[in-house]
């Protein structure tokens, strides 16, 4: 009877062992399937996050809006020239046309080098082409104008022809913004669904792994070893996720060319510093820097040399500022900074030192050739806690254009009219 009982117990344990083996196989298969789904979901989520974190994501909207702004400034200059002929009226028109043509070149480069969704909209290409043709024709008319009457006629022509063009550009901007907004909403919905699937799959995978560990190693001697292996794998996964997260954060906030803050990150950090200075009653200044004749550098030496010039200027600008100052690249060859200072004197001292260092430091573009560049800097001082960062940057930008008009390679302090 005892033998029979032992045989029954052995058979029972054997059946339990076989049943457990089948369960383990099922858990292994289910865990492997869930693991595949988890990695696929994670890969898709990382791909979408990488798209959101691109430095030049939605840059086309900014460029087209910039075209509209520059066209408006050209119209204002034409109005001033038409109403009152000044000695520098022709030069003002030529300068505004050069700036507008440069912005059009940048927008054209973006449209042709980046495969974005709104390139397929025919209005964008047609309006930009029409405007570019008009700018070339206006530039020729300005260059041919030899007296005040001719300059006035050119101004009238620019005003008359630019009005419908600006209306078309505003319509294009509206359509592009609507397209991007719709695309962004769709992407967010898709990413939300993807993360839901990822979370559910990861939850089920965690349950499967726990059941697998409980079934296989409940009474085994190797439970501790497997646990250590899983713990190590978990730490490794956390480290990799942390590294990826840091990398994504860097891509989202750092300008790829210069290593400084990009436009979005600069505005976020500069706004935080501005608020802190206002709360603590600390004075601060805002600085706008633009590389002089940068278009000529690109035209004569190529874009690779132009990129090297931008990098070297950014490096020298960073050396001239303190660690507590915030600066970044906000445009093609344009930089901005916000820095706590005691007053106008200290702000101008920093800006002049930066201008002198850049002007006196040649940039080597090949083993046998060096390039000398200069910058123009506009600065403005905090005078009202109610002023926004955008308003302060606008004042510094006005001072920057005044520095350009004063002959470049100079610093100009904004003064209230």
- The Cα 152–Cα 155 span in angstroms is 5
Check whether residue 79 and residue 184 sit in a common domain: yes
Check whether residue 148 and residue 280 sit in a common domain: no
Name residues whose C-beta falls within 8 Å of residue 409's C-beta, 6 or more positions apart in sequence. 292, 355, 359, 374, 375, 376
Which of 219, 241, 272 finishes a domain? Answer: 219
pLDDT at residue 41 greater than cutoff 70: no
| 226 domain residue, yes or no | no
| Residue pLDDT, tens place only, 266-286 | 999 999 999 999 888 889 999
| 225 domain residue, yes or no | no
- The Cα 218–Cα 68 span in angstroms is 70
DSSP track, 151-214: HHHHHHHHHHHHHHHHHHHHHHHHHHHHHHHHHHHHHHHHHHHHHHHHHHHHHHHHHHHHHHHH
Check whether residue 151 and residue 271 sit in a common domain: no
249 touches 268 (CB < 8 A): no
DSSP, res 337: E
| 71 domain residue, yes or no | yes
- The Cα 45–Cα 41 span in angstroms is 6
Task: Copy the structure tokens of residue 31.
Answer: 């865990």
Check whether residue 202 and residue 282 sit in a common domain: no
127 touches 167 (CB < 8 A): no
Domain with 326 in it:
263-413
Predicted model pTM: 0.44
DSSP, res 261: B
- pLDDT bin (cut points 50, 70, 90) of residue 173 is confident
Lowest mean pLDDT among 195-204, 234-243, 402-411: 195-204
DSSP, res 283: -
| 166 domain residue, yes or no | yes
| 184 domain residue, yes or no | yes
| 210 domain residue, yes or no | yes
3-state secondary structure of 115: coil
Check whether residue 86 and residue 192 sit in a common domain: yes
| 250 domain residue, yes or no | no
| 183 domain residue, yes or no | yes
Check whether residue 35 and residue 148 sit in a common domain: yes
Of residues 40 and 5, more confidence is placed in 40
Check whether residue 197 and residue 286 sit in a common domain: no
Which of 164, 198, 219 finishes a domain? Answer: 219
266 touches 336 (CB < 8 A): yes
Check whether residue 184 and residue 305 sit in a common domain: no
Q: For the residues 204-221, what does the mean pLDDT come to?
A: 62
Check whether residue 52 and residue 145 sit in a common domain: yes
Task: Residue 280: give its domain's CATH number.
Answer: 3.30.70.270
Check whether residue 205 and residue 346 sit in a common domain: no
| Residue that the structure tokens 């383990």 belong to | 24
Which of 204, 219, 234 finishes a domain? Answer: 219
Lowest mean pLDDT among 113-117, 345-349, 367-371, 405-409: 113-117
| Domain tally, the chain | 2
Check whether residue 25 and residue 146 sit in a common domain: yes
Which long-range contacts (C-beta less than 8 Å, at least 24 apart) are formed by 180-185?
A: 180/58, 180/61, 180/117, 180/118, 183/117
Check whether residue 298 and residue 200 sit in a common domain: no
For 369, phi then psi, to 5°, come to: -140, 140
| Residue pLDDT, tens place only, 286-333 | 999 999 999 999 999 899 999 999 999 999 999 999 988 999 999 889
């Amino acid at each position: 009877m005892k033998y029979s009982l032992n045989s029954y117990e052995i058979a029972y344990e054997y059946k339990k062992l076989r049943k457990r083996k089948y369960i383990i196989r099922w858990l292994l298969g289910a865990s492997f399937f869930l693991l595949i789904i988890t990695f696929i979901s994670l890969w898709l989520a990382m791909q979408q996050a990488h798209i959101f974190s691109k430095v030049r994501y939605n840059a086309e909207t900014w460029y087209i809006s910039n075209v509209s702004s520059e066209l408006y400034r050209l119209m204002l200059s034409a109005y001033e020239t038409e109403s009152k002929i000044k000695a520098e009226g022709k030069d003002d028109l030529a300068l505004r046309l050069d700036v507008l043509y440069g912005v059009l070149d940048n927008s054209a480069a973006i449209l042709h080098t980046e495969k974005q969704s709104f390139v397929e909209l025919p209005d964008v290409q047609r309006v930009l082409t029409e405007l570019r043709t008009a700018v070339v024709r206006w530039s020729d008319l300005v260059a041919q104008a030899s007296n005040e009457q001719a300059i006035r006629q050119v101004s009238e022509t620019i005003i008359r022809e630019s009005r419908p063009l600006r209306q078309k550009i505003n319509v294009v901007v509206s359509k592009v913004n609507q397209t991007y907004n719709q695309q962004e909403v769709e992407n967010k919905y898709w990413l939300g669904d993807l993360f839901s699937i990822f979370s559910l799959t990861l939850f089920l995978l965690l349950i499967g792994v726990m059941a697998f560990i409980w079934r296989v190693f409940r009474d085994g001697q190797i439970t501790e070893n497997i646990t250590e292996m899983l713990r190590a794998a978990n730490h490794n996964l956390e480290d990799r996720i942390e590294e990826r997260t840091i990398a994504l954060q860097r891509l989202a906030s750092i300008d790829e060319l210069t290593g400084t803050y990009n436009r979005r990150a600069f505005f976020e950090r500069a706004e935080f510093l501005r608020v802190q200075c206002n709360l603590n009653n600390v004075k601060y200044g805002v600085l706008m820097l633009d590389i002089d004749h940068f278009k000529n550098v690109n035209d004569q030496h190529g874009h690779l040399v132009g990129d090297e010039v931008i990098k070297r200027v950014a490096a020298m600008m960073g050396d001239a500022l303190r660690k507590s100052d915030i600066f970044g690249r906000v445009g093609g060859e344009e930089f901005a900074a916000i820095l706590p200072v005691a007053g106008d004197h200290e702000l101008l001292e920093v800006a002049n030192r930066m201008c002198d260092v850049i002007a006196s430091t040649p940039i080597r573009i090949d083993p046998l050739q060096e390039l000398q560049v200069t910058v123009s800097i506009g600065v403005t001082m905090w005078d009202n806690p109610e002023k926004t960062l955008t308003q302060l940057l606008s004042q510094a930008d006005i001072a920057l254009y005044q520095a350009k008009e004063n002959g470049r390679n100079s610093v100009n302090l904004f003064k209230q009219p």
